[in-house]
A and B are shown apart, each in its own frame.
Chain A
Amino acid sequence: MTAPSTNDVIDTVLGLDRFPDLQALRDQRAKLKHLSQTSYQAALRPADPRNFSYALRAALAARMAALWKSQELSAHFRALLESEEEGPALASITNPGSAADTADPRLQAILAHVDLVTLSPKEATRANIEKLTTAGLDDRDIVTLAGLIAFVNYQVLVVAGLKMLRDN
């Protein structure tokens, strides 16, 4: 798998090079298309990944895409994970339901939060943030995680909507 490039990820995962009309439609909103891609960079490959390695970010993103059965995006994020040195160690995370596999309480708390906020954000309360704090995440880590979850869910919805336009 190639390293992340400057190509537009959404165009790529939907194979829009074969759908020039839909590509042209997206280009009518060129600014937001560009900002969606720069947001992807900021969420998945930020200049300073701090306590969330590129590999962990890719693994969590693949898991979220899989939770929504977004095959295009989960395949993309799994490939991104495989391009990382720590990829194999985190591969099991990409599979929803794998939370029990890890003995690491920090990772367990992160996975539980990812699953909850992806599928049932309405259920989230202050107690869920406290669980992250207890597991050792600081305020910035919590905002980092929330931002990653929020971005990937945005991308899942955009891809789902574009797929509807592509196939109808």
Chain B
Amino acid sequence: MSQAVHEFTVEALDWKPYVKPVDVETATPEQLDALKITPSNKKISDYVLVLANEPETLKERTPLFNDIMYSEGGLSRGGREIGALAASFVNRCIYCASVHAARYIQLEKRPEVVDEIYGGGLDANLPEFEQALFNFGVDLTAHPDNVGAYQFYHLREIGLDDLQILDLIHAVAIFGWANRLMHTLGEPHRLD
């Protein structure tokens, strides 16, 4: 039996659900239809199979997530990953953080940014651009009722235009969604 992980780590992790994933063999046509949108060239994860218990929601959520994180133009993909990481650190979604830390490093080739976030947590001391993205992600996640002129000014100061700010808002918000599924419906384990 592998060990559950309760501290942030950059290592790749497994995720074990608390509720039963859908069995592809006995899935309903609606569930199969919702699952079809996920990459068919690899094994469907337990996480997606858990979400397939609610196929109507999953069917909208998968393309929404992909569009928010991967659409053309606007904020860089790495910048969106900083938003994802900030949300995941506030919400302590250890699995989400591990996946998106790896993705950030893969995209930006700057492991030192991730190292600082893992070392400093919410108090991480980052280069100006990444700091502004990270702080906004923390503020919007922790205090959505208290985001205003101050946050807006800091995003403008690093040169973000309206579309880039909109992309950052969505990246943080979709992790407000993802963290609340991944962190509450299962837990990360060390890979066997």
Contacts and interface: CB of A to CB of B under 8 A. Distances in A.
Interface residues of B, number: 53
A32 B50 CA distance: 23
Interface of B is mostly: helix
A147 B184 CA distance: 11
A153 B9 CA distance: 26
Determine the interface band of chain A, counting residues with CB < 8 A from chain B: 35 or more
A39 B169 contact: no
A167 B91 CA distance: 27
A109 to B, nearest CB: 14
Given A29-B71, A32-B170, A156-B144, A168 B152 contact: yes
A36 B64 CA distance: 7
B187 to A, nearest CB: 7
B149 A168 contact: yes
Contact of A129 (B19, B93, B141): B19
Given A69-B145, A165-B152, A26 B57 contact: no
Contact of A47 (B56, B151, B162, B166): B56
Interface of B: 18-20, 50-51, 53-54, 56-57, 59-61, 63-64, 67-68, 71, 74, 90-93, 140-141, 144-145, 147-149, 151-153, 162-163, 165-170, 172-174, 176-181, 183-185, 187
27 contacts: A25-B162, A25-B166, A26-B166, A28-B163, A29-B74, A29-B167, A32-B64, A32-B67, A32-B68, A32-B170, A68-B144, A121-B180, A122-B91, A140-B53, A146-B185, A147-B54, A147-B181, A150-B180, A153-B180, A157-B140, A157-B141, A157-B173, A161-B169, A161-B172, A161-B173, A165-B162, A167-B149
